[in-house]
Amino acid sequence: MPKRKLDPLPSAAFHILLALAGEDLHGYAIMRQVEQQTGGRMRLGPGTLYGSLKTLLEAKLIQELEDRPDVDGTEERRRYYHLTSAGLKIVRSEAEGLADTLRVARAKRVLRGAHV
């Protein structure tokens, strides 16, 4: 059932998976990473972020880390999330789909400037 929820993968879920592809992050760091990787176009609110994380956890695309990194001694209450191999597979296939779309857009000269 959760698989059905993520087909197609919502934009917020894709960006969260992409953010977690580099390293394990907590909620606020995921939000900042998503903002950075979308050039500030996507600012995830707490409801959207944790709703998406819940869906991704139910689909086993991410997992919550039991052993939480304690970066500066003040972060023991934060919940860190880790991308699973299934999650990596999904985000890779989604990114490849986007790359194909980009190739078509380039071929049709839809894009201008730096994208070309």
Partner 1 sequence: MSEKIYVWLLKLYPSRFRRDYGSSAIQLFRDRLKAERGIFQLCQFWFDVISDLAISVPREHLRRSAAEPSMPGSFRISEEAVSAMTKREAVIPAFVVGSAVVLGLTIAWLGDSNHVLLFVAYVPLVILAMGQFRSIGKVEKHWHSYQLTLGANGLHLMQDGRECSLLRSEILKVHEDQHGLSAIGIRGYSQSEVLSVEYRQARDRLVSIPMPAGLTSYEQIREQILQWTGRISQRRSLWLKELKPLACAVSLAPAMLLVRSVPWLAIVAVIYCGTVLLAIALHVARPPRDSGLAQQGLNVPPPAYMWRRLKRLFRYPPMLVLFFLPIARVVLPR
Give the interface with partner 1 as residue ranges (CB under 8 A). 1-2, 27-28, 31, 43-51, 53-54, 58, 77-79
Closer to partner 1 at the Cβ: 37 or 48? 48
CB 112 within 8 A of CB 28: no
Closer to partner 1 at the Cβ: 1 or 99? 1
Copy the structure tokens of residue 52: 């998406």
Q: Find the angle CA(53)-CA(56)-CA(58) to the nearest 5 degrees.
A: 110
- Amino acid present at 84: T
Closer to partner 1 at the Cβ: 10 or 88? 10
CB of 91 vs partner 1, minimal distance in Å: 20
CB of 51 vs partner 1, minimal distance in Å: 5
CB of 26 vs partner 1, minimal distance in Å: 8
Q: In whole angstroms, give the CA distance from residue 55 to residue 17.
A: 12
Closer to partner 1 at the Cβ: 72 or 109? 72
60 backbone φψ class: left, alpha, beta (φ>0; ψ -120 to 50): left
Element (H, E) at 65: none
CB of 43 vs partner 1, minimal distance in Å: 5
